[in-house]
Amino acid sequence: MTGLQGGKSGRLSRLSAAYVVARRDFMAILFSRSFLFFLLGPLFPIVVASFAGGVGAQLRDTVDRPQLGAAMTDKDVTAMLNARAELAKTLGDIVPKVVVLRRLAPGESYDPAQALAGGRRDIGAVLTGSLDRPVLTGTKERIEDWRGPVALIAASAVGGVARPLPEVTLQSMATSTASERTGQLLTAQAAQTLLFLLTMLLAGMVLSNLVEEKGNKVIEILAAAIPMDAVFLGKLFAMLAISFVGIAVWGSAAGVFVMSADSGLAAMAEPAVGWPAMIVLGVVYFAMAYLLLGSVFLALGSLATTVREVQTLSMPATMMQLLVFFLASFAMMQPGSAAETAAVVFPFSSPYAMVARAAQQPGLGQHLLAIGWQSLCVMAIVRAGSQLFRRRVMKSGPARGGGLRVFRRKRQTELPESAH
């Protein structure tokens, strides 16, 4: 034996210890074949999200369909309402629902742009002018969509659909409250879905990682050398770092796709906090959602002794997370409601609810508060999980009474071997 003396006392700080574990896990996963599968993983959520997006859009169209606001003379408005009602009998929702914004006195003027900017959120475009010369004001996409139906309603209001359709004058404006809200809702929904799917994928991976650790018995070496919460933190952050590599790869691909599209990000509804803040918050909330769920999964993993037990224990956690996602999705549609407040405060739904808020409500202060709250919860769960691990897992020896039986048996079978 040479050179094995002189070790200094002391211990690694929790962060340094967590870093040692995280570095090992990160490198091990990064250079494993499973990382390739992890990179391919998002293909699955994309397919699911496309499907969910289709269903969501259908739902949104039903629940939150923008309406055509009319600001015309009393006679024209009445004729428009009647004509729309008649047409709707055969064409259904193809013809937009008409709501009266104002019945104008002869010669009275009306500013449709102002109505769209500060008025009702459900108005998609405003119809002014007369039945012969209708003027449609709204976002470019909306007024082009509605040009035909509006001409049809106007012609029908004048004397029947057999008449030549009047020329509809289009007045385009950047956005309307309704289309902005719809767009923001879409952004919020996309952000929530992405967050949820990535989180579930990662939390499952971190659980497998811990189970593998218990399987190959390294866990006791870790537990003897460093505090257990440092082990948990290291494992959580390693997987988070892996996910950032994945996000970087997929984010770059998505970025190239978006930028190469006709109008890039400008074509999408801008989130209430703006795109730069939205992206940063999206990443932070993803990290928080993952850390929260991952820490629960780690705690569950530490309680289990077999892979089967892990699967049994993780099932309720997965179900709970689905419920949490549904709560956050439901809350998103009802800003300011008690359900939304509950979703914001409950730690496991908080990241989803807050990312939806970022898309729909301006202001960053609330996000700082939420991130602080979520971080506290992560620390508390990691701490509780590591305590459980120390209490429940690291035990050895026989059950009560068995010790004596084992001892008697061992005296007969093992002790003679020691005589040599």
Partner 1 sequence: MAGNAGVMSRALAIEARGLVKRFDGFTAVDGVDLAVPEGAVYGILGPNGAGKTTTLRMLLGIIDPDAGYRRILGSERPHDVARAIGYLPEERGLYPAMKATEAIAFVGALRGLPLREGRRRARKLLEEYGLGYAADRQIRQLSKGMAQQVQILGTLVHRPRLVMLDEPFSGLDALNQGKLEKMIRGLAAEGTTVIFSTHVIAHAERLCDDVAIIAGGKVPFAGSVDLARDRIPAQVRLETRAVAGDWVHALPSSVRREGRFWHFPLPDTGVEPLLRTLIASDAGILSLSIERAGLHDAFVAIAGEAAARSLAADEGGEERK
Q: Which of residues 389-408 bind partner 1 (CB under 8 A)?
A: 390-391, 394-404, 406-408
**What are the angstrom distances between the C-alpha of 137 and each of 69, 143, 265?**
10, 7, 24
Tell whether residue 411 is a contact of partner 1 (CB under 8 A).
yes
Q: Which of 190, 222, 287, 354 binds partner 1 (CB under 8 A)?
A: 222
Q: Looking at 90, 109, 260, 418, which residue binds partner 1 (CB under 8 A)? A: 418
Q: Does 15 bind partner 1 (CB under 8 A)?
A: no
- The answer to whether the beta carbons of residues 142 and 180 sit under 8 Å apart is no
Q: What's the CA angle centered on 284, arms 280 and 285, to 5 degrees? A: 115
Which tokens is 277 given? 């803040």
Stretch that binds partner 1, among 42-50, 163-171, 292-300, 412-420 (CB under 8 A): 412-420
Comparing CA positions, the residue from 210, 213, 396, 382 lying closest to residue 313 is: 210
Query: What is the smallest separation between the CB atom of 385 and partner 1, expressed in angstroms?
Result: 15
Q: Is there binding between residue 379 and partner 1 (CB under 8 A)? A: no
Q: 121 or 410: whose CB is closer to partner 1?
A: 410
Binding residue for partner 1 (CB under 8 A) from 62, 118, 260, 420?
420
How would you classify the pairing of strands 123-129 and 98-104?
Answer: unpaired
Selected from 220, 274, 334, 337, the binder of partner 1 by CB under 8 A is 220
313 binds partner 1 (CB under 8 A): no
Give the nearest distance from C-beta 40 to partner 1 in angstroms: 21
Closer residue to partner 1 (CB): 89 or 395? 395
Q: Is 223 in the site for partner 1 (CB under 8 A)?
A: yes
x/- mask, partner 1, residues 198-217, rule CB under 8 A, reads ------------------xx
Axis crossing angle, helix 74-91 with helix 140-158, rounded to the nearest 10 = 100
Helices (H) and strands (E) in the chain, counts: 15, 5
Q: Confirm or reject binding of residue 385 to partner 1 (CB under 8 A).
A: no
Is position 121 an interface residue for partner 1 (rule: CB under 8 A)?
no
- Rule CB under 8 A: is residue 93 a binding residue for partner 1? no
Judged by beta carbon, residue 31 or residue 106, the one nearer partner 1 is 31
Pick the closer one to partner 1 by CB: 89 or 420: 420
Taking the complex as a whole, the smallest distance from the CB of residue 240 to partner 1 amounts, in Å, to 20
Indicate the residue among 372 and 398 with the shorter CB distance to partner 1: 398
Q: Compute the CA torsion angle 7, 9, 14, 20 (nearest 10 deg).
A: 0
Looking at residues 16 to 45 of the shown chain, list those that interact with partner 1 (rule: CB under 8 A).
16-17, 20-21, 24, 28, 32
Closest separation between CB of residue 278 and partner 1, Å?
Answer: 39
Residues in the chain: 420
Of 322, 291, 285, nearest to 202 (Cα)? 291
Contacts of 123 (CB under 8 A, 6+ apart): 66, 67, 68, 69, 99, 101, 115, 116, 176, 177, 178
Within 8 A by CB and 6+ apart from 270, the residues are: 183, 184
Contact 344, 354 (CB under 8 A): yes
CB atoms within 10 A of CB 359: 26
Cβ–Cβ < 8 Å for 199, 244: no
Binding-site ranges for partner 1 (CB under 8 A): 1-12, 16-17, 20-21, 24, 28, 32, 216-227, 390-391, 394-404, 406-408, 410-411, 414-415, 417-420
